[in-house]
Structure 1
Amino acid sequence: MTASATPARGTGTRAGFLPRGRGVVWFGASGFVNALGTGFFYPFSLLFFASLSRESLGTVGVTLTVTTLLALPGLFLVGRLTDRCGPRAMLAAASALRAASFVFFVSVPGLWPLIVGGTALALGNRAEQVAAPLLAARLAPEGQSSRWLALTRVTFNAGMGLGALLAGVFVADSHSGFVVLGLVNAASFVLAAVLCLGLPATAPGDPAGGTRSPRGAHRPWRHRAFVRVAAANALLWAAALAVESGLPVFVLRELTLPSWTVGTLFAVNTALLTLLQLPVGRALDRFRPGAVLALGGLGYLGLYACAVLARSVSSTVAVAVLMAGMTVYTIGELAVSQASLILLTGLPPEPERGSYLAVNQLLVGAATALAPLLATSLPGARSPALWWTLAALSLVAAVLTHPVGRPAGPEAPGEPRA
């Protein structure tokens, strides 16, 4: 990685890492409200669906996996529509679709409504992940793109954390409580859509007025650099979700540590992600994003190694070891989220970025569906099988992304940069 010796112009010593540009407040507010509603709902999601659908938890779990997979083919249409209509319209539409899904859940009980609403909700979630980074890249002034992309992660983590905290205080474990939960979540998505419409409009395709690529000129699967980054991003996404699912089981059942350990570990993770994303993102701007992504993935190994070590030390030491591992892991996560967004939005040709990001979300959606299976099929009851498997995923991701260079405008399909 080669450092740049010259700081960006216009940045002072005070909060020089904060994003600037027209619409940044509206963009940040929309992302925060969106994440706030999601965080309010997420801790109670399985109980919410079980209560309102009147199905068992086991049925709900299988159904949600199925609906996640059913939504994936719709991403091809999402990508085309994003390129044609622009990311602002798609982001607003995704929020509206998710709001309608929660109203549907509250209004119509049963398994088939759960399947239909769950598929719509999963598609809306994926569409938001396609549109939000693309809109940030489109709206950011020159030299500000990485900071706008970092802002999407800051608002997400802050909103999710605050939403989960509020849910723990206000949500009652009852049918009526879950009805209120669904309606509040729907209202948050409506507000996010309204805030999004306050953003500056961006032209579909090339906002700079360039010539649109001929239809079929580029295909994501022929663009080797993009495919490498998207594959690595999906592997690291699966690893992160497996940690989220598997670490509590490992801590409570294998290490037999106090239950507060799990909450503290994830509180450290959320706090560091929220507080450090912008300054770390600013610091990483000077390095080649492919190498940053590779090293960030290797940072995940810190938690895996500490989990293995924690099995052979006392309970007090194990807590300290896991805290250290989570800190290293979170720094890696900061690097991964920043570098992956820069590459995934910068490598595709401008007129077809929506289609490319939809392919990335196709891989991420598959990883989301399969990560719980990975965490539960390799519990590591008497061996560190889960952690060795996740380490292998991180190493493969590092090998895939390290050669990828810095994006700098459209590139020929199939030709990675040096």
Structure 2
Amino acid sequence: MAEATGEGGPTRILPRGPGVVWFGASGFVNAFGTGFFYPFALLFFSELSGLSLSAVGVVLTVSALAALPGLPFVGRLIDRFGPRRVLVVAALARACCFVGFVSTRGVVLLVLFNIALALGNRAEQAAAPALAVGLAGEGQSGRWLALSRVVFNAGIGAGALVAGLLVVDSRSGFAVLGVANAVSFALTAVLYLKLSVREHPAKTPDAEEPGAAHSSPWRNTLFLRVAGANAVLWTATLIVETALPVFVLHELSLATWTVGALFAVNTALLALLQLPVSRFLERFRLGPVLAAGGCTFVVLYVTAATVGPAPHAVRLGALLLAMAVYTLGEMAVSQAGLVLLTALPPPSELGGYMAFNQLFVGVGAALAPLLAGTLLDRWPALLWWVLSAMSVLAVLLIPRLPRGASPQPGEISPA
């Protein structure tokens, strides 16, 4: 990725600054490993542990919730030692977890390794934005955060595609999957080490003084409202990923390949347009961008809820168009949400705030499969109206914010 050679050049939307290639590569490899594993997670744990799918689901939900109390400690580590070191440790810990999954047996060890894996995943999601902000030059944080989303989506999509082609549905095949995932996280740790970043990128001289005041995320009203809105919208996207394939196949009676077509549209648009769309959105206020993105989600929800009586071709066309609109909203939500969440905290406490945000995200991620499964099983059409209500709730939570194109960390006052 080259630095822009001029304001009119085709690379003007790319982040600038040293380390951008290593940052992008580390994010892609990290996401590739996740995407390689995620579609087969339930089968992986069931095959290697001998547990039923429902029992595995309980283990994963309990483990995800059990990891959340450790996030405040993770936040303090990010602020004290820097995001890069936390990312390296988190990547190596996740690699060890997959080695443990393949080489050990027993429900207790399965739960313990899954708690460690969940904590590592949350630590990565808290530290990665802080690392992007630390690496970014003046006025560049928005583009670095956008790049993190691009490589994440590309890595998830590529990993899932390769896994679908290579993973063998057998005990030995899933063991190979686990080893491959361990290798991907170990390689991610190596790539993070290639980055040259100040280990305390957000600290200021005043923040290091013994008498310096410290704020609390739960007392920062603006941050709480943005984090709440972001978590609600993030939970909705997870529910869509889980529920849409089932709804399309069982309720709308469309062909299996249509599921792949819908998510191919989503993945392709996210990979190709996230950076230019994020660059375009820099000229608008962040609060309205986040609200508008949440509103566009409703287009997909209403389409899914009402398109059933239409002919097959109309159903598919409407869903593809609605997915494209939804994806544009997803870009706006992810960009505005990340920029706001990194701009509202005091710079010296960015890691703590981002870890606190993961408490919201973690609860949503743990509850999303439960909500999706319950509604699909009993009231499938109601699911989309519940998701529409979630979008409305998120929009109501978003506060009015000062005008700013691309604020830097700590630039928006919580007052």
Which TM-score tier does this pair reach, normalised by the shorter chain? over 0.9
For 2:118 and 2:133, the matched residues in 1 are separated by 24
Percentage of identical aligned residues: 56
For 1:412 and 1:11, the matched residues in 2 are separated by 27
Question: Deviation per CA, 1:27-66, whole angstroms, max 9, x where unpaired?
Answer: 0010111111111111111111111112111110110000
Please report the TM-score for the alignment, with normalisation by the length of structure 1: 0.94
Cα distance, 1:414 vs structure 2: 5.0
Alignment of structure 1 residues 323-362 onto 2, 5 Å: 323-362=320-359
Match of 2:202 among 203, 206, 212: 206
Cα distance, 1:378 vs structure 2: 1.9
**Does the 8 Å contact 1:206/1:212 carry over to 2?**
no
Question: Deviation per CA, 1:113-138, whole angstroms, max 9, x where unpaired?
Answer: 11011000000000000010110011
**Unpaired runs of at least 5, structure 1:** 1-7
Higher mean C-alpha displacement, 221-230 vs 9-18: 9-18
Match of 2:162 among 149, 160, 166: 166
1:22 aligns with 2:18: yes
Match of 1:104 among 96, 100, 104: 100
Q: What is the DSSP-based 3-state SS (H/G/I as helix, E as strand, rest coil) of the residue aligned with 1:379? A: helix
1:278 aligns with 2:275: yes
Cα distance, 1:212 vs structure 2: 3.4
Question: Deviation per CA, 1:135-183, whole angstroms, max 9, x where unpaired?
Answer: 0011101111111101111111111111111111111111111111111
Gap change, CA 1:256 and 1:198, over 3 Å in 2: same
For 1:254 and 1:102, the matched residues in 2 are separated by 36
For 1:275 and 1:56, the matched residues in 2 are separated by 39
Q: What is the DSSP-based 3-state SS (H/G/I as helix, E as strand, rest coil) of the residue aligned with 2:323? A: helix
For 1:93 and 1:23, the matched residues in 2 are separated by 19
**Does the 8 Å contact 2:343/2:411 carry over to 1?**
no
Residue aligning to 2:135? 139
Cα distance, 1:232 vs structure 2: 0.3
Question: Deviation per CA, 1:279-316, whole angstroms, max 9, x where unpaired?
Answer: 10111111111111110001101101111221221111
Code of the residue aligned with 1:118 in structure 2: it is: N
**Does the 8 Å contact 1:19/1:147 carry over to 2?**
yes
Q: CA RMSD in A?
A: 1.9
**Does the 8 Å contact 2:91/2:189 carry over to 1?**
yes
Cα distance, 1:207 vs structure 2: 4.6
**Unpaired runs of at least 5, structure 2:** none
Question: Deviation per CA, 1:50-108, whole angstroms, max 9, x where unpaired?
Answer: 11112111110110000000000010100000000000101111101110100110110
1:118 aligns with 2:118: no
1:249 aligns with 2:267: no
Code of the residue aligned with 2:385 in structure 1: it is: W
Higher mean C-alpha displacement, 40-49 vs 117-126: 40-49
Alignment of structure 1 residues 68-83 onto 2, 5 Å: 68-83=64-79
Residue aligning to 1:399? 396
Residue aligning to 1:410? 410
**Does the 8 Å contact 1:54/1:109 carry over to 2?**
no
Residue aligning to 2:375? 378
1:298 aligns with 2:302: no
**Does the 8 Å contact 2:229/2:394 carry over to 1?**
yes
Cα distance, 1:189 vs structure 2: 0.5
Please report the TM-score for the alignment, with normalisation by the length of structure 2: 0.94
Residue aligning to 1:44? 40
**Does the 8 Å contact 1:254/1:381 carry over to 2?**
no
For 2:412 and 2:111, the matched residues in 1 are separated by 41
1:62 aligns with 2:62: no
Residue aligning to 2:187? 191
Gap change, CA 1:356 and 1:46, over 3 Å in 2: same
For 1:377 and 1:371, the matched residues in 2 are separated by 10
Residue aligning to 2:150? 154
Residue aligning to 1:5? none
**Does the 8 Å contact 1:236/1:394 carry over to 2?**
yes
**Does the 8 Å contact 2:344/2:414 carry over to 1?**
no
Q: What is the DSSP-based 3-state SS (H/G/I as helix, E as strand, rest coil) of the residue aligned with 1:73? A: helix
**Does the 8 Å contact 1:55/1:110 carry over to 2?**
no
Q: What is the DSSP-based 3-state SS (H/G/I as helix, E as strand, rest coil) of the residue aligned with 2:376? A: coil
Residue aligning to 2:313? 316
For 1:120 and 1:94, the matched residues in 2 are separated by 9
